[in-house]
Amino acid sequence: MDAAGVPAVAETVFAGPKLGAVFCVVGIYRQPVEVDFQMLIPSELTILFSMGHPQGEMFEVARDIAENTEKYALIVSDVIPFARVAEAIDLADRPGDASKVVVTFE
């Protein structure tokens, strides 16, 4: 996962990804990065991108969640304390085992 947006990160990933690797980009790249697709095809690398949402939209969503906690609680399958965060990550990584995993900081 790249949150830095630094070309060296992408270049490192593209230099030799493991078979079936996933590269998730959330950082903002201000410079172009050269990609050798011929070299990447055999790795079956998946590249995912994500970007921030318009500022107002996130506030609306947060407000709706706060005002309707009962409704959103229906999609939460597991609530795990931060002390067991590794377990939460493992659980969230297994499709079908969990809908939404929430980590609490109490």
94 φ/ψ sector (left φ>0, alpha ψ -120 to 50, else beta): beta
User: What pLDDT is recorded for position 54?
Assistant: 67
The Cα–Cα gap between 67 and 47 comes to 35
Residue 79 identity (one-letter amino acid): V
Which range has highest mean pLDDT (47-51, 73-77, 81-85, 91-95)? 81-85
**Mean pLDDT for all residues in the chain:** 87
User: What pLDDT is recorded for position 47?
Assistant: 94
DSSP-derived letter for residue 2 is B
Residue among 23, 18, 22 at smallest CA distance from 42? 18
pTM of the model: 0.49
The Cα–Cα gap between 23 and 49 comes to 9
Contact between 106 and 81 (Cβ < 8 Å): yes
